[in-house]
Amino acid sequence: SSRFIGITTAPPDAILGLTEAFAADTNPQKMNLSVGVYKDASGQTPVLKCVKAAEKWLVENEKTKGYLPIDGQADYRRHVRNLIFGDCVESDRVSVVQTPGGTGALRVAAGFLNSQLAPIRVWISTPTWANHNAVFTSEHVPQEAYRYLADDKKSFDLDGMIDDLTNNTRPGDAVLLHACCHNPTGVDPTAEQWDQIASVVAEKRLLPIIDFAYQGFGNGLAEDTVAVRAILKVCDEAIVCSSFSKNFGLYSERVGAISILSGDAEMAGAVQSQLKTLVRSNYSNPPRHGAAVVATILDDADLTQMWHDELTEMRTRIKRLRQQFVETMKKTGKGHDFGFLLDQNGMFSFSGLNKMQVDELKNKHSIYIVGSGRINVAGMSEDRMDQLCAAIADVIE
Ligand code: PMP
């Protein structure tokens, strides 16, 4: 008999499952607002022009496909450090390791907690990106939940979060923070609220792990470092897991980094060596192409300007769609006020729609959003806003 006979089928990924259902839907009016990628006005997820230009240059000038160092390309790592930390901290206190995407960074972070800091628990927001729990579970890191989204499902529960971090954590626990554009809610703390959160994190000696997957999608590249700056003002140790999937549109090239801030350069060196050990036995070394594209762009003033412009275009398009959605919902004449969406940031928003309404949207109108009510705002289209809003108004009745 087969040794695999007892293997049961794992549940499909909830969001990717919706993508399959969407593909099979024959309604020509169908609309997919579930997946987490940016789309332009024509519904495409385009390759940025700056990326195309860098790739062209690389095709002509790249000299080898030999392995990168275990911790990645040096120029790339320097750019990551500059983008995230600026001149907030001494650069020799930061260990940067290039990883396969933000997920790879989180996985290396979880491995670091497990191998160097165990026993350690990690506090995670309710709700959060589902893969957060899966990644820490894979590395045997115990998890606890802190309150984040208020009961109205529209606003930030600052008091709940502060209460959980103050009264329920133990000194030495880790806390996972979304730097900006909280996934799945779009609800972010203000600068003042970040200062309050940071002071609790410092007081309780919690280890901040900052997930920075959407730099530039909220309010701008520099503006979106607000959480990082608040934390670094009061904590001398921190982990940042970053991704260029969204802001460079390099999703499938797997471009990310883990950056760990240590108290001094000597500790940073030891941390860097341990990160390399973790990577070596996992995927050995990171992929070259995406990081080479990013480094090529950021090494060149014109390409960098082109990137800034294209990123601004993506960010402002999302903001425009939010506005148009809120206005169109008002115009359906049924008094639906979605004004709270204007306070939310990034690609995603919690719509407040419940599971039944989400199902009805799918079954009756072929409009696909995530069961939690999360909408990918970047998936909306100007031309079809009336259709979307009429359908939502219909299921809210
Ligand atoms: N963290 C969050 C909050 C995310 O939303 C994502 C992407 N969906 C990631 C990390 C990981 O991104 P990547 O595709 O670069 O692995």
Contact by Cβ (8 Å): 162, 156: no
Distance 247 CA to ligand 1 centre (A): 11
Q: What is the pLDDT along the chain (397 residues), one digit of tens a residue?
A: 899 999 999 988 878 888 889 999 999 999 999 988 999 998 899 999 999 999 999 999 999 999 999 999 999 999 999 999 998 899 999 999 999 999 999 999 999 999 999 999 999 999 999 899 999 999 999 999 999 999 998 999 999 999 999 999 999 999 999 999 999 999 999 999 999 999 999 999 999 999 999 999 999 999 999 999 999 999 999 999 999 999 999 999 999 999 999 999 999 999 999 999 999 999 999 999 999 999 999 999 999 999 999 999 999 999 999 999 999 999 987 888 999 999 999 999 999 899 999 999 999 999 999 988 999 999 999 999 999 999 999 999 7
What is the distance in angstroms between the CA of the first residue and the CA of the last residue of the chain? 56
Q: Is 257 helix (H, G, I), strand (E, B) or coil?
A: strand
Q: Is 129 annotated in the active site?
A: yes
Q: Point out which residues pair with 126 in neighbouring strands.
A: 147
Distance 102 CA to ligand 1 centre (A): 5
Q: Is 36 in the pocket of ligand 1 (CB under 6 A)?
A: yes
Ligand 1 pocket: which of 80, 129, 148 to mutate (most atoms within 8 A of CB): 129
Q: Is 276 annotated in the active site?
A: no
Among 39, 71, 123, 129, which one carries the catalytic annotation?
129
- Whole-number pLDDT of residue 111: 98
Q: Which two tokens stand for residue 18?
A: 């919706």
Contact by Cβ (8 Å): 318, 346: yes
Complete DSSP assignment for 157-177 = -HHHHHHHHHHT--TT-EEEE
Distance 328 CA to ligand 1 centre (A): 30
| Torsion sign, CA atoms 200, 201, 205, 206 | positive
Distance 212 CA to ligand 1 centre (A): 8
pTM: 0.96
- Whole-number pLDDT of residue 88: 85
Contact by Cβ (8 Å): 199, 158: no
Neighbour tally for 87: CB within 10 Å: 7
Contact by Cβ (8 Å): 201, 237: no
* Cα(37)–Cα(51) distance, integer angstroms: 17
Question: What ipTM score was computed for the predicted complex, to two decimals?
Answer: 0.99
Distance 256 CA to ligand 1 centre (A): 9
Q: Which two tokens stand for residue 333?
A: 């004449």
Q: Given the CA of residue 243, which atom of ligand 1 is nearest to it?
A: 15
Task: Tell me the Cα Rg of the chain.
Answer: 21
Contact by Cβ (8 Å): 227, 257: no
* Cα(207)–Cα(122) distance, integer angstroms: 9
Pick the residue whose CA is nearest to atom 12 on ligand 1: 102
Q: What are phi and psi of 98, to 5 degrees?
A: -65, 135
Q: Is 211 annotated in the active site?
A: yes
Nearest Cα residue to 213 out of 349, 296, 106, 306? 106
Q: 224-245 burial by CB neighbour count: b if 16+ within 10 A, else e? A: bbbbbbbbbeebebbbbbbbbb
Q: Is 129 in the pocket of ligand 1 (CB under 6 A)?
A: yes
